[in-house]
Every structure is written in C-alpha cells, then in structure tokens.
C-alpha cells in the first residue's frame, strides 16, 4: 500500500480539462519529483492532492483512506501539507508568530527548537516580519510552517524558483536532512538537477498525462524523454 495513491484522476479548472486519468503511487518516506514543462499539470496535481481542487473522477488515497472528497483543512489535519509556489506566509507577522499560528491546530506539533536547529537563519530572524524577509528566508519559513504541523506528506511546489544558487544549495541540504528523518515528499520543480538530487523516483507529466515513471537513473538514461518533455 502506498502513502499516496492516485487512480485515474481527472481534474478541471472550470470547463478546462487539466489532468487526464492520472495514476501514481508514492510509498512512505519516498521522495517523488513531478517534472514537466510549464502547463503540464504538475501544480494542478499538487492542488488536487491537497483538496484545493476536487477531481471530477478518480480516487485519491492517503495511507489507504480516500481523501478526494474532503475539504482542504480536513486533508491537512490528516497529515498532508502543501507549500504553494507563492509561499503565502503572513507578511505582517514575525517568523515566530507565523510558526505559532501554524502550530495552533496541529495535533502533535514539532517544537520550535527542532525547526530552528534545521533553519538557523530563521532563528536569527525570528523577530522579523515575514514581509521583510528575503526570498530564500520566506521559502524556509514556508517549509518550516508546514513542518511544524508534523505532516506525514509534504508537497513542495517550485521550492527553488527565483532563488540564488547558494540559497538553493542550502535549501537542498535542509531537504536532504528532512528526507532522512521526516515525511514522504512530492516535489514539483523546474530545476531538474536539484529535483533529481532529492528524488528517489520521478514522474514526467505532459499535457496532463503521465508519460514517464522511473528512477532518476532511468530518466538520465532516457535523453529522448528529457529532450521531448523537459526541454533539456
């Protein structure tokens, strides 16, 4: 049994059909990268998993229980956290207040100390308002805010987008630590090298359909897939 199981999921934005019979499985403690060009359906897949969008047909299971009919807050309560590409931290609240607010409704929140050990930069900036943080610091806070809720599954949507190379390197190291001890992870990322350094398995989407599934090694050995669907 997978931690996450999608079976023939079809999702729409209004009348636009975005995901076509998407089936995938993510095992516990696995890191799966969702890759594809812009508009391939990657972020839509994450939003469908998190309940931001409800599929018109198909099923989604979290640890064996169907969740595709549940509201977003109930899916979050069951242990799935989305870190959206726009980060959505509270700019008028401090780092510490952002974290405390996220922990309020968690059944078994992480202690702040554990997060500050993982993100020492956030401890340095804990009295700073979210709106005054750099892009990299905001991304760290967005991830930390999801982690404080002690999720079973974390969905990262373009976590490295727009960040300087040195910040990406630091965030990659944090994500690697997290993978060793923490939740199951699904990552959507345009930065192919960064995604493949983290992932144990890869799905490639094209026009809302899965066109490849395998290991990073399988993908690296398939240049026709990377050139056709990833533009690499």
- Picking from 44, 39, 43, the residue whose alpha carbon sits closest to that of residue 206 is 39
Q: What is the CATH number of the domain that holds 39?
A: 3.40.50.300
Beta-bridge mates of residue 81 = 154
**Per the domain annotation, does 153 fall within a domain?**
no
127-152 pLDDT, tens digit each: 999 999 999 999 999 999 999 999 99
**What pLDDT is recorded for position 184?**
94
Helix axes 95-103, 135-147, angle to 10 degrees: 20
**What pLDDT is recorded for position 232?**
59
**Per the domain annotation, does 59 fall within a domain?**
yes
Beta-carbon contacts of residue 60 (< 8 Å; ≥ 6 apart):
4, 5, 6, 7, 9, 48, 49, 66, 67, 68
**Per the domain annotation, does 188 fall within a domain?**
yes
Number of domains in the chain: 1
**Per the domain annotation, does 152 fall within a domain?**
no
Contact between 136 and 143 under an 8 Å Cβ cutoff? The reply is no
For the residues 91-113, what does the mean pLDDT come to? 95
Domain of 232 in residue numbering reads as 1-79+181-232
**Per the domain annotation, does 124 fall within a domain?**
no
**Per the domain annotation, does 141 fall within a domain?**
no
Q: To 5 degrees, how large is the angle CA 191–CA 1–CA 11?
A: 55
């Amino acid at each position: 049994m997978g931690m996450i199981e999608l079976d023939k999921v079809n999702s729409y934005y209004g009348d636009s059909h975005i995901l076509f019979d998407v089936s995938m499985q993510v095992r516990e403690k696995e890191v799966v990268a969702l890759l594809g060009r812009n508009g391939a359906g990657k972020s839509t897949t994450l939003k469908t998993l998190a309940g931001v969008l409800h599929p018109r047909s198909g099923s989604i299971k979290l640890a064996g229980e169907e969740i595709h009919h549940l509201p977003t807050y109930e899916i979050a309560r069951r242990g799935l956290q989305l870190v959206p590409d726009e980060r959505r931290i509270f700019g008028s609240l401090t780092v510490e207040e952002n974290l405390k607010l996220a922990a309020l409704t968690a059944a078994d929140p992480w202690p702040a100390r554990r997060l500050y050990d993982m993100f020492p930069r956030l401890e340095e900036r804990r009295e700073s308002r979210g709106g005054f943080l750099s892009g990299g610091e905001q991304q760290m806070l967005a991830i930390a805010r999801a982690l404080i809720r002690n999720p079973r599954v974390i969905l990262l949507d373009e976590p490295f987008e727009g960040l300087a190379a040195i910040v990406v390197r630091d965030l990659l190291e944090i994500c690697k630590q997290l993978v060793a001890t923490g939740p199951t992870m699904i990552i959507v990322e345009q930065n192919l090298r960064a995604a493949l350094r983290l992932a144990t398995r890869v799905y490639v989407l094209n026009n809302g359909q899965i066109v490849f599934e395998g290991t990073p090694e399988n993908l690296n050995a398939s240049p026709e897939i990377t050139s056709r669907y990833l533009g690499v």
